[in-house]
Amino acid sequence: MINSSLKQLGQQLASKQVSSVELTQAYLQRMATLNPSINAYVTIDEQKTLAQAQAADARIAAGTAGPLTGIPIAQKDIFCAQGWRTTCSSKMLENFIAPYDAHVISQFDAAGAVNLGKTNMDEFAMGSSNETSYFGGVKNPWDFDRVPGGSSGGSAAAVAARLCAAATGTDTGGSIRQPASLCGFTGLKPTYGLVSRYGMIAFASSLDQAGPMAKSAEDCALMLNVMAGFDERDSTSVQREQEDYTRGLSAMQGTQPLKGLRIGLPKEYFAEGLNADVAKVIETAIAEYKKLGAEIVEISLPNNNLSIPVYYVLAPAEASSNLSRYDGVRYGHRAAEYNDLLDMYMKSRAEGFGAEVKRRILIGTYVLSAGYYDAYYLKAQQIRRLIAQDFVEAFKQCDVIMGPAAPSAAFKAGEKTSDPVAMYLEDLYTIAVNLAGLPGMSIPAGFTTSSEGKALPVGLQIIGNYFDEARMLNVGHAYQQVTDWHTRMPAGLENI
Catalytic entry in 151, 196, 307, 408? 151
Active site residue 76: yes
Catalytic entry in 5, 19, 20, 76? 76
Q: Tell me, what DSSP letter sits at residue 130?
A: S
CB under 8 A, 24+ apart: contacts of 251-256: 251/474, 252/474, 252/477, 252/478, 252/481, 255/293, 256/291, 256/292, 256/293
Of 174, 148, 176, the C-alpha closest to 490 is 148
284 three-class SS: helix
The sheet that has 440-449: what strands, in order across it?
41-43, 114-119, 72-76, 166-170, 210-214, 186-189, 440-449, 455-464, 400-404, 262-266, 295-299
54 three-class SS: helix
Rounded to an integer, what distance in angstroms lies between the CA atom of residue 343 and that of residue 182?
A: 42
- Residues whose CB falls within 8 Å of the CB of residue 428, separated by 6 or more in sequence, listed in order: 273, 307, 308, 407
Q: Secondary structure of 215-273 in the HEC alphabet?
A: CCHHHHHHHHHHHCCCCCCCCCCCCCCCCCCCCCHHHCCCCCCCCCCEEEEEHHHHCCC
**Strands 72-76 and 166-170, bridge-based pairing:** parallel
Q: Count H helices, E strands: the chain?
A: 15, 11
Indicate the helix (H) or strand (E) that contains 170: strand 166-170
Rounded to an integer, what distance in angstroms lies between the CA atom of residue 153 and that of residue 115?
A: 18
Indicate the helix (H) or strand (E) that contains 280: helix 276-291
Torsion of CA 138, 141, 146, 151, to 10 degrees: -40
Q: Which amino acid is at 275?
A: N
Whether 303 and 387 have beta carbons less than 8 Å apart is answered as: yes
Active site residue 118: no
Rounded to an integer, what distance in angstroms lies between the CA atom of residue 263 and that of residue 6?
A: 28
Residue 402's Cα: distance from chain center in Å? 18
Catalytic entry in 175, 237, 307, 450? 175
Active site residue 206: no
Q: Which runs of E-coded beta strand occur in 426-470?
A: 440-449, 455-464
Catalytic positions: 76, 151, 175
